[in-house]
Copies of this chain bind each other. A is one copy, B any other.
């Protein structure tokens, strides 16, 4: 075969040892928090039947699903007319019956329906797996990336929403973040607003417009509202709602007045109030004065969510949202299991990674990689160095012996490159005295230690 200069497939990444350590640190921290709250991990296969995924993400989404070509003589039974006119799109179901997971939600819905007789409701699960999208790759957007979802299905209780606020708080705190905002809104509040201004049919248009407040400002939003079928009078009514200020209590009180004529709107306010009451009962009232913020411009894919919605951002670094989620009343209906409500949140692992990197919040690497490298001075010493290595490992110290008696400079370079914090020199003199020279690779300092001292020092 020809020698090809290898490259990565477009939009994909390798993860080096140091990157893996950091990624595992994030995932393991999240895992620990999720489990403490009673969520259990599941995994679903990387590919699903194409029919399971098609039609769940809209027409644009369907195009971004990676399809897997059937094996063998996959063209044998394809209609000749589709081939003749090169009808790429129509040919797909004839030559592909499987596709890569596009998100974790649809496979989760499939899981719940298929395993409905094994699982106990409410079913609390989390899932940390890669997903794939045929997006145009760009800075920070990859074709393979991890999603990290936590959901509970089968429980309408708003206690779940309150717990998710706590999950966010505890997880982000555990990762070392100090200043973040958990935005909360409710889809019913948005419906209520559209109802109050007499345009319930324009609810989606309204939310799409006000969702952009951060980016295009009030004037931009107003312009967009006018372009989407609202009148100048509507815009005037919406203005104070969009600009709603004050504390969370103030905002909810104002909304109750504005939405007095809308049953669904009041229901939305009441749900947020319930979540707040539970948080106070939890003893977490301070969250409501600091981290949690009612934000009625928060929208998030509305055709999907039906109740409370969340979005989380850090205030320490300029970065988009690092998490979000909400309540959906019909997760599994697409697979024929009706009336199963769910609520869930997700964590944006790639963005969290960038935030921790920028704030220098990753723990030092030493705890999870090789602690000490024994310098190799030749096979004559093996009867001494190999048992030494064996004993270090027996006491759970990650240790290595350089595999050949290479020049000292090379062996030191290996320790350096691998960020091994200590190097142990075991020469003739050291073997005779039983006192080894231990070099601190950071400070350059060297000291003599016995085996016992070495173990105590590195443990």
Contacts and interface: CB of A to CB of B under 8 A. Distances in A.
Interface residues of A, number: 116
Interface stretch (A184-192, A305-313, A393-401, A444-452): A393-401
A111 B45 contact: no
Contacts of A74: 88
Given A38-B400, A63-B71, A369-B35, A283 B386 contact: yes
Contact of A14 (B44, B56, B91): B44
B414 A120 contact: yes
A109 to B, nearest CB: 8
A1 B100 contact: no
Given A14-B114, A36-B399, A125-B17, A45 B8 contact: yes
A134 interface: yes
Contacts of A29: none
B71 A68 contact: no
A283 B88 contact: no
Contacts of A159: 401, 403-404
B44 A157 contact: no
A55 B69 CA distance: 18
A69 B72 contact: no
A20 B46 contact: no
Contacts of A125: 17
Contacts of A335: 3-6
A304 interface: no
Contacts of A157: 403-404
A93 to B, nearest CB: 11
Contacts of A69: 66-69, 92, 95-96
